[in-house]
Structure 1
Amino acid sequence: MASKIDPEVELIADIAGFTHDPLGHALYAYPWGSERLPSPGPRSWQRDTLTTIGEHLSDPETRFTPLRVAIASGHGIGKSALISMIAKWGLDTCEDCKVVITANTEPQLRTKTMPEIAKWSRLAITSHWFKITASALASTAAGHETAWRLDAVTWSKDNTEAFAGLHNMGKRIIVIYDEASGIDDKVWEVTLGALTDEETEIIWIAFGNPTKNTGQFRACFGKDRTLWKTRQIDSRTVEGTNKEYLQSLVDAYGEDSDIAKVRVRGMFPSASSMQFIGMDLVQEARTRETGQTLGSDPVIFGVDCARFGDDHSTLAIRCGRDARSRPWKRWHHMDSMTIAGDIALQAQMWKPDAIFVDAGNIGAAIVDRLRQLMPDMLVIEVWFGGQGREVEMQTGVRVRTANKRAEIWTSMRAWLKGGCIPDEQQLEDDLTGPEYAFNADQAIQLEKKEHMKKRGLASPDDADALAVTFAEPVMPRTVPGYLDPVSYGKGEYDRYSEV
């Protein structure tokens, strides 16, 4: 009578057959097409990456040469799922394999990366082989729990010891970076020390949105590209992504905008992906010809207020597309009454149709004084923390904003595409300094000034002053009929007649 084969022994034998076949392992180990995992299998780009690893390990010439893979992509392509598949394959198919995973931040690692790894580990047919904790997968085989494991490791540029001792001679090491753009260069340098073991299978994979155009992740696609197998993935080309939402980002910001490059196209930004206004947009506005403004364009004053410290108060003057012809004015360490008096003198000269004032700091006092000095002038306070409205980013495309400051900066960003500004480096630095994010409602939110200062940047006083001019619509000026474009072609007067 034939002896019955132990299912566990049979499972071990099957899994052993995938030692150098991570794609085969993924297809075998998970319940694809089931209620628990409705997808029919890994996505195309995931299959390609798993195949790349398998081909490298299957070739005796390359097996013990460290494999480095860097993948930059837009949102939603399934990076965390692939990280989980690679980690689980590595552990399942090599005794005493070491897997180390880190991410750009501790919350990313704790709340996103590790929960995804735990989910896929539970889905696997070999789920009972490893014990899951909040920061690790450890082998359940007696005596192997400390040597055969995955660890989620937080990092600090001043404390990289966790990576310094990463060795596993004669076996397998897998290092995975999640959101690699945000991982400090010192961590990358220390990880290089793990690539020196002989006769060892070494795999180092860096995933992420390409949020910075500097640093080691960027170098993988630049000066170090001969050391890495690289790929940049447009999220719109991947199965299962929210293509309508992704395209809306492209439509709102433009195909070549940094936001579309980073969040959708998997391309590195012209500056920083978090930079709300790109340098190219500002430099074009600095050098653009002033041109002629319409006689009906209102003259608008924008005032950003500061009292002490390194910040300064600024008066920006804009008329239609022209924010250059009328000189701006700045005050350092000046009291509200003096500033208000100076603004009143400027108003006598330029005859503004409206004055918008940042009501923070000493702004409220300036508003009161201006109304006292010029009772017939339209003076409006602007509260940066007030409710933000949906505004037009470009023709036909509107976006949500988290507060009033985000709203006016968004309107200013759209205006810069055709406007002209003073040719000053300080103003360019102010405009390109703030970074942005999306809040829970997918509304644009600008970086706070105190956070900018922690990054070594000055408060963007000049840019805020220009942005304030977009706080509310201002009615066009009344002009003589013969200057009003609306009048052209009306009446019996022929402006081209030779009589």
Structure 2
Amino acid sequence: MKPAQRRADPNDAIIELAASCRFDPDRWAHLAWDWGVGELEGIDGPREWQSDINRVIRDHLANPETRFEPLQIAVASGHGIGKSAQMGMLSNWAMSCFANAKVVITANTETQLRTKTSPEVGQWFRRSLTGHWFGINSQSIKSRDVAAVETWRMDFVTWSEHNTEAFAGLHNKGRIILLLFDEASGIAPKVWEVAEGAMTDENTVIIWVAFGNPTQNSGRFRECFRRFRDFWVTRNIDSRTVPGTNKRYFERLRKQYGEDSDVFKYRVRGLFPEQSAMQFISSADADKARDRHLRKEQYSFAPVIIGVDPAWTGDDKLEIYLRQGLYSRSLASLPRNDNDIQVANLIARLEDEHQADAVFIDAGYGTGIYSAGQVLGRAWRLIWFSGNPIDPGYLNKRAEMWGTMKFWLKQGGTIDPKDTELYDDLVGPETVPRTDGKVQLESKKDMKGRLLPSPNKGDALALTFAEPVAKKQRAITAADGRIIHGGNMAQTDYDPLAG
């Protein structure tokens, strides 16, 4: 009698396929669904941008040198490109191809997560070859293996800056962590900060993908494409290039708002707006200032003014900026230094070297430096940011200086194209709405609450607009040794158009 033959288990072929796709989500996406059948009728596979993201992950995992380095991907797009579908395919790949996978999805609001993200992701699991492997509900998707139900799972978690403890335990050493952000523009900055704590496990596949419409020109999602772009793989997806989107509606929006309007940029083109609703200095003005080039004769006649913004916390830097008419440049950017005498000697040297006509110092943390300057015989000026402005349309002196600087940028002011920190400082601050209509800038503390750095370089440049400045008379020695007094006392610099 022949021994009983083992009946073939249909799961064996699926398990073999999943094992072969462990490091290839692109292959999994093409094989794990019945494209063109049933609910996927008329669709022959993932959209091109979805395959592009899958290939980025595939290439990262295929290389043993990068496999266990965290991979961070940010996708900014217009509407209707299939972000939820991509999250469904990616999370199903991770859960199917890795034992004891840990996947977490969050969104900007609970409503978004519960009514849109979770149902759509669940649908992609149900359609998948491995749909029967998992128990699917609105708050989680778990393995049906009773021995792994708590360790092999995906959770839909509503996070906010007051509920970051959900990140506690987001570790899965030796396996895989997939972290997905939906509508990332609206996710609290503190959540981004805490999420980085999940990037620390060794010998672990760690993938973090943030999806969103680029509705805000500041915040952590925006900075993935700007300040932190060296650490993120970024994609901007134009909805018009994606199959299945409403091209006629997009054309109506283009005619209504214009191709280069902010509305059309973030709704359709997948580009960040030039200026958020509360942004004080627009990116367009900063871009133009960065691209301008001046000849020396265009500014050499104007007074030379130095602004000094001392560091106010250990993480900040002491910034010293020079401006002469429409020209500006950084003179020094140093770690916080509590030795006021040392700093004062540096400022005095720079004042002499550049023959500065005025030096303005932020009084908030600069009184010691100012006093040391007095000992050196320097006639520097302390500027209180909270002081009274000359223009009653501003709340305080700081807002007024930034307002004058904003006008200077519009009228031809230039900034160093290599000084990315100054650029970010200029476009970072937002205004604070007031019932009296006065212009008020958000505080440095509030900016740090949005995970933006203190705009010390911006404040240092703004200080050069603190008060009217006259070009000093300087002694000039003639060839025969006689002292000739020269200079132009009439040339002042307060109105940026004066030079």
TM-score (norm 2): 0.56
Matched-pair contact (CA < 8 Å) for 2:393–2:437? no
Matched, 1:100 2:104: yes
Letter in 2 for 1:14: L
Deviation at 1:16, TM superposition (A): 1.2
From 185, 194, 197, the equivalent of 2:201 is: 197
From 48, 51, 60, the equivalent of 2:52 is: 48
Structure 2 CA distance for aligned equivalents of residues 174 and 141 of structure 1: 20
Q: CA RMSD in A?
A: 3.0
Letter in 1 for 2:160: S
1:97-117 per-residue CA deviation (whole Å, 9 max, x = no partner) reads 000000011100010000001
Which 4+ residue blocks in structure 1 deviate beyond 3 angstroms? 1-4, 278-281, 423-426, 458-462
SS of the residue aligned with 1:71?
Answer: strand
1:473-492 per-residue CA deviation (whole Å, 9 max, x = no partner) reads xxxxxxxxxxxxxxxxxxxx
Letter in 2 for 1:21: D
Matched-pair contact (CA < 8 Å) for 2:275–2:283? no
What's the counterpart of residue 29 of structure 1?
A: 32
From 139, 159, 180, the equivalent of 1:155 is: 159
Matched-pair contact (CA < 8 Å) for 1:104–1:181? yes
SS of the residue aligned with 2:36?
Answer: coil
1:381-429 per-residue CA deviation (whole Å, 9 max, x = no partner) reads xxxxxxxxxxxxxxxxxxxxxxxxxxxxxxxxxxxxxxxxxx9789xxx
Deviation at 1:233, TM superposition (A): 1.0
Structure 2 CA distance for aligned equivalents of residues 6 and 222 of structure 1: 51
What's the counterpart of residue 215 of structure 2?
A: 211
Structure 2 CA distance for aligned equivalents of residues 85 and 161 of structure 1: 27
Count of aligned positions: 298
Matches within 5 A, 1:408-419: none
What's the counterpart of residue 110 of structure 1?
A: 114
Matched, 1:83 2:59: no
Deviation at 1:248, TM superposition (A): 1.1
Matches within 5 A, 1:315-334: none
Letter in 1 for 2:33: Y
Question: In the superposition, relative to structure 1, how do residues 221 and 279 fare at CA in structure 2: closer, same or farther (>3 Å)?
Answer: closer
What's the counterpart of residue 191 of structure 2?
A: 187
Deviation at 1:68, TM superposition (A): 0.3
Structure 2 CA distance for aligned equivalents of residues 12 and 252 of structure 1: 52
Deviation at 1:280, TM superposition (A): 9.8
What's the counterpart of residue 18 of structure 2?
A: 15
Letter in 1 for 2:433: L
1:363-384 per-residue CA deviation (whole Å, 9 max, x = no partner) reads xxxxxxxxxxxxxxxxxxxxxx
Question: In the superposition, relative to structure 1, how do residues 201 and 248 fare at CA in structure 2: closer, same or farther (>3 Å)?
Answer: same
Structure 2 CA distance for aligned equivalents of residues 244 and 275 of structure 1: 31
Matched, 1:457 2:433: yes
Letter in 2 for 1:19: R
1:252-300 per-residue CA deviation (whole Å, 9 max, x = no partner) reads 111111101110111111222x689x9799xxxxxxxxxxxxxxxxxxx
What's the counterpart of residue 168 of structure 2?
A: 164
Matched-pair contact (CA < 8 Å) for 1:90–1:97? yes
Letter in 2 for 1:208: G
Matched-pair contact (CA < 8 Å) for 1:84–1:120? yes
What's the counterpart of residue 446 of structure 2?
A: none
Which range is displaced more, 245-254 or 4-13?
4-13
Matched-pair contact (CA < 8 Å) for 1:164–1:191? no
Structure 1 CA distance for aligned equivalents of residues 437 and 283 of structure 2: 20
What's the counterpart of residue 451 of structure 2?
A: none
SS of the residue aligned with 1:72?
Answer: strand
Matched, 1:123 2:99: no
Deviation at 1:31, TM superposition (A): 1.1
Structure 1 CA distance for aligned equivalents of residues 232 and 146 of structure 2: 37
Which range is displaced more, 242-251 or 167-176?
242-251
Matched-pair contact (CA < 8 Å) for 1:164–1:190? no
1:196-252 per-residue CA deviation (whole Å, 9 max, x = no partner) reads 000000000000001111111111000100000001111111111111111211211
Deviation at 1:456, TM superposition (A): 5.7
Structure 2 CA distance for aligned equivalents of residues 25 and 266 of structure 1: 27
Matched, 1:5 2:8: yes
What's the counterpart of residue 228 of structure 1?
A: 232
Structure 1 CA distance for aligned equivalents of residues 184 and 143 of structure 2: 27
Matched-pair contact (CA < 8 Å) for 1:114–1:135? yes
Aligned-pair identity (%): 50
From 71, 74, 78, the equivalent of 2:78 is: 74
Letter in 2 for 1:457: P
Matched, 1:243 2:219: no
**Unpaired segments ≥5 residues, structure 1:** 282-422, 427-454, 463-499
SS of the residue aligned with 1:131?
Answer: strand
Matched-pair contact (CA < 8 Å) for 2:104–2:179? yes
Structure 1 CA distance for aligned equivalents of residues 120 and 6 of structure 2: 40
Question: In the superposition, relative to structure 1, how do residues 11 and 217 fare at CA in structure 2: closer, same or farther (>3 Å)?
Answer: same
TM-score (norm 1): 0.56
Letter in 2 for 1:27: H
Deviation at 1:185, TM superposition (A): 1.0
Matched-pair contact (CA < 8 Å) for 2:72–2:208? yes
Structure 2 CA distance for aligned equivalents of residues 82 and 280 of structure 1: 31
Deviation at 1:59, TM superposition (A): 0.8
1:457-480 per-residue CA deviation (whole Å, 9 max, x = no partner) reads 245989xxxxxxxxxxxxxxxxxx
What's the counterpart of residue 332 of structure 1?
A: none
SS of the residue aligned with 1:8?
Answer: helix
